[in-house]
Chains A and B, each alone.
Chain A
Amino acid sequence: AQKVTQAQTEISVVEKEDVTLDCVYETRDTTYYLFWYKQPPSGELVFLIRRNSFDEQNEISGRYSWNFQKSTSSFNFTITASQVVDSAVYFCALSEAGYGQNFVFGPGTRLSVLP
């Protein structure tokens, strides 16, 4: 069965601090996809990244970076030099190949960046 755990319910940081959001997943499939979404106060979830299970290369996009480690079933998300606009709820999600339309979401981590 698929499962996504985000152990951090809420995180508060001061602007310019680095912050890492943890994501641990469970799946029996060897082929799967991992996602991160951002939900700002407006409510709409915004896609941040998709990673397939065969690509363990870490990715950096501006202040955002992702660390995918199959050995620990983790797909962690780091924001460098956080800004107030990063305040949002962040969701990690898993989708198994063959069940392409069934996403399992974690409970989310609420990040508050204080000025």
Chain B
Amino acid sequence: DVKVTQSSRYLVKRTGEKVFLECVQDMDHENMFWYRQDPGLGLRLIYFSYDVKMKEKGDIPEGYSVSREKKERFSLILESASTNQTSMYLCASSATGATNEKLFFGSGTQLSVL
């Protein structure tokens, strides 16, 4: 069964802390994504990566950074967490192909910043 696994389902952090959200996929996908989900706003793209050590900014990259040292792992980093980063974070992956391939999603990490 193919999977995208996010390390934590729920996370509580304090303002100013450095936060790491980890995502691992076992499908040998080239592309990986981090989305943020907020009520009424749908999913918004934070960063994506189409290859190891490559990254591209999405629509809302401010306050976030990413790391992709291995093909299967894509990490989202909040350098100094703030309360407005309280949200559901979703990781996804997809294969590179001639057509726009579907995304496979993890179960999400609900982050609360106090």
B-binding residues in A (CB < 8 A): 4, 6, 9, 33, 35, 37, 42-47, 50, 52, 91, 93, 95-97, 100-103, 105-108
Contacts and interface: CB of A to CB of B under 8 A. Distances in A.
A18 B13 CA distance: 43
Given A100-B101, A101-B31, A101-B48, A91 B42 contact: yes
B88 interface: yes
A50 to B, nearest CB: 6
B42 A101 contact: no
Given A44-B108, A50-B102, A101 B50 contact: yes
Nearest to A98: B100
Contacts, number: 62
Interface residues of B, number: 30
A43 B108 contact: yes
Contacts of A46: 105
Nearest to A49: B102
B103 interface: yes
Interface in B66-114: 88, 90, 92, 94, 96-97, 99-108, 110
B66 to A, nearest CB: 14
B104 A106 contact: no
Nearest to B9: A43
Contact of B107 (A4, A42, A91): A42
Task: List the 7 closest A-B pairs by CB distance, nearest first.
Answer: A45-B105, A43-B108, A105-B42, A105-B43, A95-B100, A107-B42, A100-B100
